[in-house]
Amino acid sequence: MTRGTRPATRHSDSHRRRRGCLLPYAAFTLLFAIAGCAHNPALGKWNIGKREKEVVASDVDELTHNIRTSTGATSIEFRKNSILISGGAQDHVESGVQYSVQQLEGGAIDVRILQPRKGDSSADIDVLHIASDGNTAQLESRTELVDLTRATH
């Protein structure tokens, strides 16, 4: 073999090693992308049950304001980009809603509900704690705690 030349097999072995290292990264990226498109278990209609910690406050987000006992609301329907609150004197739709889903140990799930503030660039955040059975939940805001059960059609 002459000086400065490499055997052809060395180059192909190096190429195989790099390709072998990339395969796990590609698989991880694919799994991460699929996880990012995870189902949002909050979506759908929920019946409002017991209300706790209903504190009077001057600055309350739309969701909390519209499910108070005084509104007569009996159900919340979480939609892809909005929330429909119904059962009271008047239905209310809150638009521009975003969700952040977090899987917890034991199968429970926390869904953060990001609601745009009117006239402000920040968002209000309420948290929906969904039990591992997927049929009961607790909606928590700064001023209210509400028990929910999944509605059956």
pLDDT per position as a tens digit, 1-57: 556 655 555 555 555 555 555 555 455 444 444 444 568 999 999 999 998 877 776
Tokens 């290292």 belong to residue: 21
> How do residues 63-90 score in pLDDT, each as one tens digit?
888 888 888 899 999 999 999 999 988 9
Is the separation of the CB atoms in 144 and 68 below 8 Å? yes
* Nearest one of 64, 90, 81, 75 to 151, comparing CA atoms: 75
pTM of the model: 0.71
Helix runs in 5-135, H state only: 8-36, 62-66
C-alpha torsion sign, points 67, 150, 38, 85:
negative
